[in-house]
Structure 1
Amino acid sequence: MIAIYARVSTEEQAKHGFSIPAQIRECQNLIGEAEALVFSDEGVSGETLQRPALNELRRKIQHQEIGTVYCLDPDRLSRKLLHQLLLTEEWERQGITLNFVLGDYSKTPEGNLFYALRGAISEFEKAKITERMCRGRREKARQGRVLRDFQIYGYDFDPKSEQLVINPAEAAIVKQIYIGLITTPLETRSISGIARALTKAGVPTKKGAKKWHRQVVKQILCNRTYLGEFYQNKWNTSGHRVRLRPQEEWILIPCPSIIEPEVFSEVQGILASLSVNSRS
């Protein structure tokens, strides 16, 4: 059986027009009249091998249901050279014929070299795109503009001004959460208790969920945005892990405050004592 694999990330489709239908059409033109199974990952980064359609294709190849794979270009398989070579070697071991619309890579030393070079260039291009995007986001943040809607409870994102604005109804709940923790008697004070109370009262979360979880309440109680301090460039999301950047790299965006500093400070002290008590 013949298979077609197509992939596009959101940024690639917007910039280059690498639509899924266009890739499938080009592959089908090369195949001719023969029937082909289509495996497509839309809006998925080429930096990871964990993609639903690719996983299904690899599973079918492993079960000997596929004999030939067509793809527009090696960078549709992956933006990483190592991943391209891994897939190529894996499928060659299983007797799969791999064909690309854009380029004929013969199984010769020269062909293998050109294939590797093409993959290295693709990986370099992706890295440069990411670098430019990150630089653009940092510059935008330094101008005091909020990059997107970060879904912070108590605030709405105004796309025209690119600023956070207070959501009055949610801001009232935020104040209720803070004051509730402070005024609850010590013996019954808990973050889980606040979450249960909000759920019982029918208060929806930012995403419209009916149930509040302890971790969501804790994030609200620890979030300095409510002091009017919203930080961008705080997290490094490159690669497969999200890492906290050094504090000197954070970019402060002032925003309307909801909680008074003395209230926020008192709550942090309570949270610290709750943490100590839970460990003892």
Structure 2
Amino acid sequence: MSSKSKRVALYMRVSTEEQARHGDSIEAQRQALRKYAEDHNLTVIGEYADEGISGQKPVRKRPALSEMLREVEAGRVDLILFTKLDRWFRSVKLYYQAQEVLDAHKTAWRAILEDYNTETADGTLKVNIMLSVAQNEAERTSERIKFVFADKVRRGEPITGSLPIGYRIETVDGRKRVAKDPEKEEMVNDIIQTYLRTQSLRRTTIEINRKYEQHMDLITVKNLLRNEMIAGRYRDNEVYCEPYITSEEYEKIQGLWQNNIKFNAKEAYYFSSLIICPECGNKMSGFRGITKRGERQYRYKKYRCSKSYKNNICSFRRTTSENVLEQMLLSQVEDDMEHVRSKAMHAKESRQSAQIERRREEIRQEMERLSYVFTKGRMEAKEYDKRYDALEKELADLKEPEQLTVPKPLPEGWRQMYDDLDAAGKQQFWRRIVREIHITKMRNSSLSLMMKI
């Protein structure tokens, strides 16, 4: 493949601290990368920017990087461009985790403002050294920031703009302070007293939403009740801000919270975190109960949208039986799996063919370059013959890939093995092969599955 048709992805990153630093902004990086790609006749297939994210964060916590690596795995990227090595990673360990993906798919990277390569032992050593330096610098910066934050907390100053409801940042005598929000003070006091009375996060949330015409979710209320600021303290400062309650009342609330936590490992839900609400897109949660039929009692497990039954935010009221869902999935999972397997086989064959053709083109270009150098008298005939013959042999050995085989995800006799699993085992089974379960709003709904291969 010629350089004119090389597909490149542009990657940009700044951490919160670096956003205001000249030359490190996302837009400055974007302009530099676009110009480089244009000057070098590179085809940009995508731009990926992680804004406000540290270079010491792993791939899974960098959304743009994760998306770009998925494009790499799909065989759509030949080269990744970024401005400097520290925009890519500031950790040696995390760098090599991403590099494994690039190596597996023959994707290179280039820092356009620095001279780095991984094609030689010296180049690899240089990258390791510079990453180690960048990692050390980031860790020292983090230590300085922690020291500054600790000093601010000691002096009662805010260290973040994100505060629990009922508080706001005010400037007093030229210094910022965390103070009660007069507009929310009555409601926060009511939340605390309602929880102490009901000892239920759900009932507290519903009552407060109705009384004050709010749309808070249960997590917001929980975060308020668990935040030590409501007792006037924060980290090591016992008098950080004006309290809503005493330390004794705060500890009582935490005790109630701990007493209300119930967990039974035997009651694993098969489809936990897999079912998507068709109304709001929220992941539906499981619940259990007992029903009577005549003189007999039956236990059941169902799924419902938490935004509907907890906060009255979602209008989807329907519950879905685990047993019914399980039977519907079992009846269609094997057919769906075979369809996904066939698609995966075709995609892998296409990707391997493209890689072989790319290597053929690279070999041809190298042969042309050798011939040019030889005709100019810049290479001895013996060396020319040796290198040219080696390239000719490699070119001749490159064959179209044989038809790939993708192992069936489900082995023979899988249904009997499934029936023998306990609840936790069945949960792991479905998590291994199903990405999401989409249900419709109809009573007799069909299911849509997205498989993991």
Shorter-chain TM range is 0.7 to 0.9
**Of 135, 147, 152, which aligns to 2:159?**
147
Contact persistence 2:33–2:81 (CA under 8 A)? yes
Q: What letter is aligned with 2:242?
A: P
Hey, what's the Cα distance between the residues in 1 that align with 2:260 and 2:135? Answer: 50
Contact persistence 1:5–1:71 (CA under 8 A)? yes
Larger Rg: 2
Correspondence for 2:202: 192
**Of 202, 221, 241, which aligns to 2:212?**
202
Q: CA RMSD in A?
A: 3.0
Please give the secondary structure, in 2, of the residue aligned with 1:11.
coil
Contact persistence 2:230–2:244 (CA under 8 A)? yes
Q: Is 1:56 matched up with 2:64?
A: no
* Identity percentage of aligned residues: 23
**Of 16, 24, 30, which aligns to 1:10?**
16
Correspondence for 1:36: 44
Q: Which runs of 5+ in 1 are unaligned?
A: 205-209, 233-249
Deviations 1:73-103 (A, max 9, x none): 2222211112223333431332223222111
- Inter-CA distance 17–254: structure 2 relative to 1 (3 Å threshold): same
- Inter-CA distance 218–53: structure 2 relative to 1 (3 Å threshold): closer
Please give the secondary structure, in 1, of the residue aligned with 2:238.
strand
Correspondence for 2:55: 46
TM-score if structure 1 supplies the norm length? Answer: 0.75
Q: Which runs of 5+ in 2 are unaligned?
A: 1-6, 263-453
Correspondence for 1:236: none
Correspondence for 1:239: none
Correspondence for 1:168: 182
Hey, what's the Cα distance between the residues in 2 that align with 1:222 and 1:53? Answer: 32
Correspondence for 1:126: 138
Please give the secondary structure, in 2, of the residue aligned with 1:251.
coil
- Inter-CA distance 218–268: structure 2 relative to 1 (3 Å threshold): farther
What count of residue pairs does the alignment treat as equivalent? 249
Question: C-alpha displacement at 1:272, in angstroms?
Answer: 4.3
Question: C-alpha displacement at 1:255, in angstroms?
Answer: 2.5
Contact persistence 2:187–2:212 (CA under 8 A)? no
**Of 245, 249, 255, which aligns to 2:241?**
255
Correspondence for 1:211: 216
Question: C-alpha displacement at 1:21, in angstroms?
Answer: 2.9
Question: C-alpha displacement at 1:216, in angstroms?
Answer: 4.0
Question: C-alpha displacement at 1:130, in angstroms?
Answer: 0.8
Contact persistence 1:75–1:122 (CA under 8 A)? yes
Q: Which has the higher contact order (CA 8 A, sep 6+)?
A: 1
Contact persistence 1:46–1:80 (CA under 8 A)? yes
Please give the secondary structure, in 2, of the residue aligned with 1:231.
coil
Hey, what's the Cα distance between the residues in 1 that align with 2:24 and 2:94? Answer: 20
- Inter-CA distance 118–158: structure 2 relative to 1 (3 Å threshold): same
Q: What letter is aligned with 1:109?
A: A
